[in-house]
Amino acid sequence: MSPLADHFLQLAYDPGISPKGGGLPGLAVLKNVVNSINLFCIVAVVGSLAVSLAVWAWGHFTGGHQAEANGKKGATVAAGAALGLGAANGIVAFFSALGSQVH
C-alpha cells in the first residue's frame, strides 16, 4: 500500500472506547457535586430574575428608559440561563447519542 493509504487506515482505526459507569471510584460523589452546583445556579437565576424584573418595573414607572432596558435585558438573560440549566442534561444526552452514531 501507499503511505497515503496507510495514513487513512490509521485515521479510520476504532479504539473501541465508550462511556461506562462504575469504572472509577467517586462517580456518585461527582454526580452529587454537579447536581448541587446546578441547584445553586438555579437559585441564583431566580434571584437575578427577581432583581431584573424589579429594575424593569422601577424603570418603567419612573421614566428611566435605561433602567427599563437593562431590566428587560436582565430578565431575558435570566430566562435563557434557566432554560439552559434545565435543559443541560438533555442537551448533553442528545449530542452524546448523536456523536455515538458517527462512524
Its sign, for the CA torsion 94, 97, 100, 101, is: negative
Instruction: Please state the pTM of the whole predicted model.
Output: 0.73
Q: What single-letter amino acid sits at 22?
A: G
Extract the C-alpha cell encoding 36. 448541587
Q: Quick one: pLDDT at residue 68?
A: 96
What digits encode the pLDDT tens for the residues 60-92?
999 999 999 999 999 999 999 999 999 999 999
Q: What single-letter amino acid sits at 11?
A: L
Its sign, for the CA torsion 87, 90, 95, 98, is: negative
Extract the C-alpha cell encoding 25. 471510584
Q: Quick one: pLDDT at residue 18?
A: 77
